[in-house]
Structure formats: structure tokens, C-alpha cells
Chains A and B, each alone.
Chain A
Amino acid sequence: ETGVTQSPTHLIKTRGQQVTLRCSSQSGHNTVSWYQQALGQGPQFIFQYYREEENGRGNFPPRFSGLQFPNYSSELNVNALELDDSALYLCASSLELPVTDTQYFGPGTRLTVL
């Protein structure tokens, strides 16, 4: 148990739809990062939030957006879903910024886009 939870566990959407994934960080952790893990690959960094502001972004288009809330929860929103968005989405929290500390991952949300 890492103390990081994600919902839902699984999700099926169709191409063009929008999806919101949720993450609840460990209490006191000010930093949350989101990753996309395609089948058979390592996780890829999407973006990071620190104290409710975006603090770094990977090579993902603007249709991937996020929010972080004061209660240590966060959201990943994906608009105009594409087939290639099918993946395991992971959130990770850490105590502070910069990320020179241990990251704790949630169990992930498996998104399937048909």
C-alpha cells in the first residue's frame, strides 16, 4: 500500500470522447506526476503539478490537461480520445519539489479506447 489511490480502475471509451481520471495523493505530498504506460513499455511522463500549478510537461499534446486540488487530489483530462491513448495511466506523488525524493505510485487506471 503506497497511500496513493486512483479511480476508476478500468475504463472503456470510444474515439473522440473525453475522459477524466482521478488520483488521491498521500497526505502532505505537494507534488503529483502523471504517466502514460503503453503495453510493454516503461511509463512516459505527461506532466507534473506542484501546489496546484503545472510544473513541467512531457511530450504530450494540449488535449492532455490536469488539475491539482488543495486536498491532495488531482485529475488528468484527455479530450478527443484517440486509439493510441489506450494505456495504463499512473499517478505518482512525492513530498516536495524538485523531485529529488521517492515517488509513490498509485495502482493505475487502464483506459481502453475503441
Chain B
Amino acid sequence: NAGVMQNPRHLVRRRGQEARLRCSPMKGHSHVYWYRQLPEEGLKFMVYLQKENIIDESGMPKERFSAEFPKEGPSILRIQQVVRGDSAAYFCASSKRDQPQHFGDGTRLSIL
């Protein structure tokens, strides 16, 4: 069974550009979560989605960040007008209902 797939693994953007991070959940998993790990810090919850619905976005910054999980295709975390402080590792996790979350290997975003 393929695990949670994230791409790209590394992404470099200049300040002001847009960053799109993709996550394909494990087969059979309908719940997707995004977490951010800043350098030398722990993982922090950002958003929880099910197909076509945002369930909990309490950890998302109010501006520039958005997430979706369409009926078909991967979940997308989108960061508009990136700034240096957005540099971090972004992890996606997926699960079945009421089951533990399994993580992908992350996308490392660097802002020049």
C-alpha cells in the first residue's frame, strides 16, 4: 500500500510568489490534515479537511493561506504572496474515520 504522498518534496519560492503543496492520502482515507513544522519547533496543526469540506481551520493563518480537498484529486495547501516567515516543513496526514493519522514525508518550503 502506498503511503501518504506529498509533492514536491522541496519547493523554492521568491517573496511574493505563490506556493502550492499537494497531498494524496493513503488509499481508503477520506480525512486529510495539514501541519507545519517551523525550524527547531514542533508540529503545529493547521487544517482538517474531508472531501469537499473544511472541518477545522483553527490553525490556519487568517490571510494568504487556503486549503482544499476536492472530490477528485489531491488536497492542496496554497500560500499566496509568500514571505520569509513561511519557510518551514509542511506535513500532510491522512486517516480513516476515528483511526490514527499517518504522515507523508513533507514539503520543505524555502523562501528566497
Are A and B part of the same complex?
A: no
Q: Interface of A with B (CB < 8 Å)? A: none
B residues whose Cβ falls under 8 Å from a Cβ of A = none
